[in-house]
Structure 1
Amino acid sequence: MDRAQKEELVTSLSEVFKSTSVVVVAHYSGLTVAQLSALRRQAKAAGATVKVAKNRLAKIALEGSDVAHVASLMKGPTLIAYSSDPVAAPKIATDFAKTNDKFVILGGALGKSALNPDGVKALATLPSLDELRAKLVGLIQAPATKVAQVVNAPAAKLARVFGAYGRENEAA
């Protein structure tokens, strides 16, 4: 990698660190290329990104960003998972760590807050942004349908009463 490529990588990483809401740092030593490719595919499907970058270049890119405190975790073979959704990257990393013993979560950052491995796992248990939106829409729609049922119920009861009187008068 020549100097221009390194500068380009640092620039792109610094933009990512300034715009992303969550970063997860993990060791990947001992994973095969196929396993790393599977992790990248899972992350892409969930709206997250997984990158392996040189620690020195990643530390330079971290300078001046809100997540700069994760630089202390950059020792050895590390990878970075990030996403704009605060739950996507931790969820992918945690799920992958459950099935692969060689993948070890070191920690991460949520905005300006530092996360230890347990914090990343706790964040992974939260529902994603899309799931929260779906629940919110369901909560908003539920009262509207109940109001419609309550408004329609008296009319339906009146119709049944009138129908009963009509049948009663026909029988007499």
Structure 2
Amino acid sequence: MPTQAKAQSIDELTEKLGRATIAILVQTQGLSVKDMNDLRKKMRDASVEFKIAKNTLLRIASERNNMTELDTSIFNGQTAVAFGYDDEVAAAKAIVDYTGNSKVVVLKSGILAGRTLSAEQVEGIGKIKGGKNQIKSEVVGTIQGPLSNVFNVISAPMRELCYVLQNHAEQLGGASAE
């Protein structure tokens, strides 16, 4: 039977996991207080919520969020969680940048759409140029370019016919005015 404080922590983690688009697990064991404060500041600047959590409470929170495809073996060792609510790429980029410069902080894994991400997959997401909106715009551009070309090819004969009819009408109008 969990204590009242643990029950509140579970409820809080359940809410955060349910709301987060990505959750990245890192190990911060051995990090000094000054470095931990620096890490928290960098996460706040990147709009990422950073919290140290007990593995058992994280596992229970993931179960409450029906994350059935989640590999619960990721909940081991000392764990801190970075919750990204808006942009998965920006959150991963902030964590990957920090772990790349830190000799103590280790990237463990991540949770995206209720599925487990390996540390390599989180690093891959963090190395994507731009952010979520840039990726969306590139996809739209990739789709829009060929569609625009198809539209132009299909509408060209009708457009040319309209130009011919307009020129002919102008010639007839010009001949009657004389």
TM over 0.5: yes
Q: Distance in 1 between matches of 2:67 and 2:47?
A: 19
Structure-2 change in CA distance of 1:42 and 1:131 (3 Å)? farther
What is the number of equivalent residue pairs in this alignment? 140
Q: Report the Cα offset of residue 132 of structure 1.
A: 5.2
**Where does residue 74 of structure 2 map in the other structure?**
73
Structure-2 change in CA distance of 1:46 and 1:133 (3 Å)? farther
Structure-2 change in CA distance of 1:102 and 1:53 (3 Å)? same
Moved more, 72-81 or 55-64: 55-64
**Where does residue 3 of structure 1 map in the other structure?**
3
Q: Report the Cα offset of residue 20 of structure 1.
A: 1.0
Structure-2 change in CA distance of 1:4 and 1:64 (3 Å)? closer
Q: Report the Cα offset of residue 89 of structure 1.
A: 2.2
**Where does residue 106 of structure 1 map in the other structure?**
108
Q: Deviations over 1:35-75 (max 9, x none)?
A: 11111111111111111011122221111326562532121
Specify the code of the residue in structure 1 equivalent to 2:96.
T
1:1-172 correspondence to structure 2 within 5 Å: 3-65=3-65, 67=67, 69=70, 71-84=72-85, 85-126=87-128, 127-129=130-132, 131=134
Contact 2:6 2:57 in 1 (8 A): yes
Identity %: 24
Q: Distance in 2 between matches of 1:133 and 1:45?
A: 23
Which ranges of structure 1 fall in alignment gaps of 5 or more residues?
A: 141-172
Contact 2:23 2:83 in 1 (8 A): yes
Specify the code of the residue in structure 2 equivalent to 1:83.
G
Which ranges of structure 2 fall in alignment gaps of 5 or more residues?
A: 145-178
Secondary structure at the aligned position of 1:87 is classed as helix
Q: Deviations over 1:115-169 (max 9, x none)?
A: 1111000101222235557889xxx9xxxxxxxxxxxxxxxxxxxxxxxxxxxxx
